[in-house]
Amino acid sequence: MRPHRKGVFFVRAAGRTSAPAASYKKTRPGVVCRASVDHSCPVAPGSSQRNRKSLSARLVAGLLERAGAPPVRVKLPSGQTAGCPQQEAIASIHVRSRRVLWKLLVNPDLEFGRAYARGEIDVEGSLADLLTAAYARAPRSTSWRLRLGQALGLYHRAIGAERARRNARHHYEVGDDFYRSWLDPTLTYSCAYFARREAGLEEAQRAKLELVCRKLDLRPGQTVVEAGSGWGSLALYMAQHYGVRVRAYNTSGQQVAYARSLARRLGLDDRVEFIEDDYRSIRGHYDAFVSVGMLEHVGRRHYRQLGRIVANCLGRSGRGLIHAIGRAAPRPMNPWVRRYIFPDGHAPALSEILDVLEPNGLCVWDVENLRPHYARTLEVWLERFERSAARFEQQFGQQFVRTWRLYLAGALASFRTGWLELYQVVFLPAGAKLPRQRPAPL
């Protein structure tokens, strides 16, 4: 998924209430944090207003404890506070109305993102650090709403070609200038590879493209098909540096137009063909198949169909690589992300990725998890995004900026804490000769 959060936002209120001892959490060595209620707001004893305020604060304190007691402080519309003492809190959350507060208590997975984007919640301190602290403490269980939706199949709907095009336009056709402001010059919108921690974004993205090519073991004159080509950086790199011929499929008309124009400027349009179409239209035989950040958009119901297409492309030889945001175990995407960032998106577990391959006679050769690299990528993206945030607000409005800030910060926190993973899976047709060793390191 280019890019993608892909992940969870703020609290997961599901699961059993923590045992009393579990309500105390260390925020740093020697310091203990308890989800507490501050009753210092002066209200006449016995009044119904005081009772309502106390109830709200107690409910928020209980919600924080069930979420793992993260080191945050929540300021309520009444003026009361819940959570850690101010001096121990990583950040503070200010809820501006009772209406928003009750929505948060009922459905925090969806409503936190909505309220933050609309300015109905403010965060004092680092949003990314707040979310990281919350995710690190959050129970790994799935909320009852997500479990029910999963059981009813609500998160795995069929995604036809036209729906796939609409989904792509929703996220990727905001405008090339917007993405150019915070991506690297090649507009590579996927996890970079930081062979050196101090590497810049452009160097790290170039290293990721090189890593993919090495894993595919590309040779001059070979043919490659790419499903989901973005702005064309990988297809053009493969043609320019490895002398292969590439057919690249993408449902975003804006991205395809940009990639075609760039190919002409680089003199590569005779070796790279960018096709505005769905992956289901792929035909022919190729030496290699590659997909970077596209599987997240395919839809769980279509995994075996995708696998059949890939198997037909590779025949009895060839090699394939899928690069995708995933999870340690199957679970639905956060509902706010699915609704406002990546419609119909799904970050698969490794076991689900295998469902693309195994039923279609494809054998896994190598798996690598690049989660630390995506965390670093998102740190850089978020820094660059914030440098242009004021301009984005003038151009698109405050809600747009807050939505993207939350998306990038939430994705960063998810990769920091292992709520999201980044898998590169290399595979071959079953029975093909397996290489004796992994690709040479960068």
* Residues 191 and 316 placed together within one structural domain of the fold: yes
Closest CA to 427 of 373, 354, 326, 344: 354
C-alpha closest to that of 409 among 74, 106, 3: 3
Q: How far apart are CA 72 and CA 88, in angstroms?
A: 8
**Closest to 94 in 3D by CA, of 75, 109, 68, 73:** 75
Same domain, 294 and 243: yes
Rounded distance, CA 405 to CA 171, Å?
14
Other CB atoms closer than 10 Å to residue 210's CB: what's the count? 17
C-alpha–C-alpha distance, residues 128 and 324, integer Å: 22
- The tokens describing 139, both together, are 């129970």
**125 and 173, same domain (yes or no):** no
- CATH code, domain with 26: 3.30.1050
* Distance in angstroms (rounded) separating the CA atoms of residues 18 and 300: 33
Judge if 126 and 227 occupy the same domain.
no
Same domain for 391 and 262, yes or no, is yes
Same domain, 193 and 279: yes
> How sure is the predictor about 22, in pLDDT bands with cuts at 50, 70 and 90?
very low
Q: Is the pLDDT of residue 19 over 50?
A: no
Structure confidence at residue 92 (pLDDT): 94
Under the banding of pLDDT at 50, 70 and 90, the label for residue 14 is very low
Same domain (yes/no): 77, 175: no
Least confident interval from 120-124, 330-334, 390-394, 436-440: 436-440
Q: What is the CATH number of the domain that holds 333?
A: 3.40.50.150
The Cα–Cα gap between 273 and 267 comes to 12
Per-residue pLDDT at 32 exceeds 60: no
Q: Select from 306, 190, 169, 179 the least CA-distant residue to 237.
A: 190
Residue 3 lies in a domain: no
pLDDT tops 50 at residue 85: yes
* 263 and 404 share one domain: yes
Q: Which pLDDT does position 292 carry in this prediction?
A: 98
In the chain, the number of structural domains is 2
pLDDT class for 171, splitting at 50, 70, 90?
Answer: confident
Lowest mean pLDDT among 62-76, 136-150, 254-268: 136-150
Same structural domain, 132 and 263:
no
Residue written as tokens 């959050």? 138
- Average pLDDT estimate for 119-147: 85
Residues 356 and 307 in one domain: yes
User: How do residues 399-433 score in pLDDT, each as one tens digit?
Assistant: 999 999 999 999 999 999 999 999 999 999 998 98
Whether residue 380 sits in one domain with residue 292: yes
334 backbone dihedrals φ, ψ, rounded to 5°: -55, 135
Percent of residues, the chain, with pLDDT higher than 90: 66
* 382 and 283 share one domain: yes
d(C-alpha 228, C-alpha 364), whole Å: 21
Confidence of residue 59 (pLDDT cuts 50, 70, 90): confident
The answer to whether 404 and 378 have CB atoms below 8 angstroms apart is no
* Residues 317-339: b if buried by 16+ CB within 10 A, e if exposed: ebbbbbbbbbbeebbbbbbbbbe
* Chosen domain end from 102, 137, 172: 137
Note whether residue 374 is domain-resident. Answer: yes
- Residue span of the structural domain in which 91 resides: 20-67+69-137
